[in-house]
């Protein structure tokens, strides 16, 4: 059976992201900085919507989860206990001809992929960014930019336990920046040196860890489906014993079919009691849990679902990208799920004539109290529709000259091109129902079908 391939051209997606204000190369006026990206006006809305959807799903709607926002800079012993100082390294080789560097474990041969030159012997390269705290740069002032958010949750286990009085099983969730000095980067925002994580550390009784590992595997897969990502573009990949991290009892990746092939979107790991044991050993603190049933102190096991905001954004953009023909003309569009679309509704007056503007502005001012809303009156209505399709806006509200008389507007659906005519009075409620998934042709009182699509 042939390996599945993505139908998305990465170059086209990158072009759209730059053209429409999703993602720009960082420091572009100075030539950019390798593997660093700036999220533009639409990109930051997409990221915020992803993070909000994740937070609602894993914190707000659950009784067994609390949030945390730990410091990026942590005591350096944190990283000794976690094993990052000693073992967070990649094997690095350098081409003796062009001097480009590569991860040796990602090369198929023993020649430089670029020029065919001879490579040096591999040497280990630590991925943590080192810096100094205070005015003196010496070994006593060394700190690291965190390479993951997880350790902040482990070292706060006792604080969270004492202040929330949670009972097992319970979890701590965190969204935050992490930094890794990757040897090789690329594939747009898939692998960056600065990235944002969405991580859960879920503490369970030993013996129940397998059950909870399987639970979170299904829970996290279903979350991506709820964002509109197609099921056939997702698959689970269990880790073999040989590739398990030193701390892991079990691990599986949720992989997505990117333009460069199947690659990790999220990892779910059973970390056992490794982290709490290590931090207790290095800090001298007792990081245990008193079990009321057995009347003894236990070290909880930890299930860790670890996702990346940037990779989730890339997956959503790849899955949404499409090209088709509408009204006899080619169009590019993003089939973004309403929950993550940066702009939910666009308000489009049919023309710039002064008679239409006051009503259009009044509707715009009302709708933007509820959602991120765009107002666009430049160029023809067809061009404006295409612009909104390309940025992924689910619905366009058109105000025409009839609106001044009948107090109704047209709602156009991005994907189907269908249109309905509805009263302005109930417009907010109608749009809310459509954004929540109601079929466009389920009409409110006084509404009528305007265009079949």
Q: Please give the sequence-ordered ranges of beta strands (E in DSSP) within 205-259, or none if there are none.
A: 234-238, 250-258
Mean predicted confidence (pLDDT) in 324-338? 92
CATH of the domain at 404: 3.40.50.800
- Copy the structure tokens of residue 362: 């009044």
Alpha-carbon distance of 264 to 256, in angstroms, equals 6
96 inside domain? no
Do 298 and 186 have their domain in common?
yes
189 inside domain? yes
Work out how many domains the chain is built from and give that number. Answer: 2
Alpha-carbon distance of 162 to 253, in angstroms, equals 33
Alpha-carbon distance of 401 to 397, in angstroms, equals 13
Element (H, E) at 144: strand 142-145
pLDDT confidence of residue 238: 96
By residue range, what is the domain housing residue 261? Answer: 10-74+145-317
Do 305 and 386 have their domain in common?
no
Do 308 and 357 have their domain in common?
no
139 inside domain? no
Torsion of CA 176, 22, 180, 201, to 10 degrees: 30
Do 240 and 368 have their domain in common?
no
Q: State CA 363 to chain mean position distance.
A: 32
Do 258 and 193 have their domain in common?
yes
Do 257 and 396 have their domain in common?
no
Query: Tell me, what DSSP letter sits at residue 59?
Result: I
Longest dimension (CA), the chain: 79
Of residues 119 and 207, more confidently modeled: 207
Do 274 and 376 have their domain in common?
no
pLDDT in tens, 216-259: 999 999 999 999 999 999 999 999 998 888 889 999 999 999 99
Mean predicted confidence (pLDDT) in 68-96? 86
The 3-state DSSP class for residue 207 equals coil
Do 296 and 351 have their domain in common?
no
pLDDT confidence of residue 137: 82
54 inside domain? yes
Peptide bond preceding 264: is omega within 30 degrees of 0, i.e. cis?
A: no
pLDDT in tens, 346-373: 999 998 888 999 999 999 999 999 999 9
CATH of the domain at 32: 3.30.930.10
Do 236 and 159 have their domain in common?
yes
Q: How many CA within 13 A on the CB side of residue 170?
A: 19
> What does the mean pLDDT of the chain come to?
93
- Residue 30: other Cβ atoms inside 10 A: 8
Q: State CA 407 to chain mean position distance.
A: 40
Alpha-carbon distance of 52 to 339, in angstroms, equals 9
Do 312 and 348 have their domain in common?
no
Do 281 and 371 have their domain in common?
no
Alpha-carbon distance of 224 to 226, in angstroms, equals 5
The answer on pLDDT for 89 being more than 80 is no
100 inside domain? no
Q: Say which residue the tokens 């056992």 belong to.
A: 272
224 inside domain? yes
Do 236 and 379 have their domain in common?
no
Alpha-carbon distance of 124 to 93, in angstroms, equals 9
Alpha-carbon distance of 329 to 49, in angstroms, equals 31
Alpha-carbon distance of 133 to 142, in angstroms, equals 6
Nearest residue to 375 (alpha-carbon basis) of 362, 392, 386: 362
- Residue 10: other Cβ atoms inside 10 A: 17
pLDDT in tens, 144-158: 999 999 999 999 999
Alpha-carbon distance of 211 to 302, in angstroms, equals 12
120 inside domain? no
- Residue 74: other Cβ atoms inside 10 A: 17
């Amino acid at each position: 059976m042939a390996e599945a391939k993505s139908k998305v051209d990465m170059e086209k997606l990158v072009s759209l992201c730059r053209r429409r204000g999703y993602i720009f190369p960082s420091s572009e006026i100075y030539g950019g900085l390798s593997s660093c990206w700036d999220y533009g006006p639409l990109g930051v809305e997409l990221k915020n919507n992803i993070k909000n959807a994740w937070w609602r799903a894993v914190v707000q709607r659950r009784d067994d989860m609390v949030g945390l926002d730990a410091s990026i800079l942590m005591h350096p012993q944190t990283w000794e206990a976690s094993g990052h100082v000693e073992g967070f390294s990649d094997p690095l080789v350098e081409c003796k001809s062009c001097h480009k560097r590569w991860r040796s474990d990602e090369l198929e041969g023993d020649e430089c992929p670029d020029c065919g030159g001879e490579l040096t012997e591999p040497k280990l390269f630590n991925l943590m960014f080192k810096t100094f705290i205070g005015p003196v740069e010496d070994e006593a002032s060394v700190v690291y930019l965190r390479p993951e958010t997880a350790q902040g949750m482990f070292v706060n286990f006792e604080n969270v336990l004492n202040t929330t009085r949670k009972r097992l099983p319970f979890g701590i969730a965190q969204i935050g920046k992490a930094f890794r000095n990757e040897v090789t980067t690329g594939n747009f925002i898939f692998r960056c040196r600065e990235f944002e994580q969405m991580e859960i550390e879920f503490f369970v009784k030993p013996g129940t860890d397998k059950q909870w590992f399987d639970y979170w595997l299904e829970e996290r897969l279903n979350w991506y489906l709820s964002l509109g990502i197609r099921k056939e573009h997702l698959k689970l990949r269990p880790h073999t014993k040989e590739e398990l991290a030193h701390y892991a009892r079990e691990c599986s990746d949720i992989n997505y079919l990117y333009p460069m092939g199947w690659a990790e979107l999220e990892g779910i790991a059973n970390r056992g009691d490794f982290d709490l044991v290590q931090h207790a050993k290095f800090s001298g603190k007792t990081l245990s849990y008193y079990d009321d049933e057995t009347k003894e102190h236990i070290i909880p096991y930890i299930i860790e679902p670890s996702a990346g905001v940037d990779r989730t954004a890339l997956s959503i953009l790849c899955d949404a990208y499409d090209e088709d023909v509408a009204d006899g003309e080619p169009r590019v569009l993003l089939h973004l799920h309403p929950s993550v679309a940066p702009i939910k509704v666009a308000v489009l007056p049919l023309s710039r004539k002064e008679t239409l503007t006051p009503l259009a502005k009044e509707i715009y001012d009302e709708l933007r109290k509820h959602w991120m809303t765009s107002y666009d009156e430049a160029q023809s209505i067809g061009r404006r529709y295409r612009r909104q399709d390309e940025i992924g806006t689910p619905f366009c509200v058109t105000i025409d000259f009839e609106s001044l008389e009948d107090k109704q507007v047209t709602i156009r659906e991005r994907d189907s091109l269908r249109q309905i005519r509805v009263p302005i009075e109930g417009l907010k409620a109608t749009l809310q129902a459509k954004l929540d998934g109601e079929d466009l042709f389920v009409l409110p009182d006084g509404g009528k079908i305007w265009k079949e699509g």
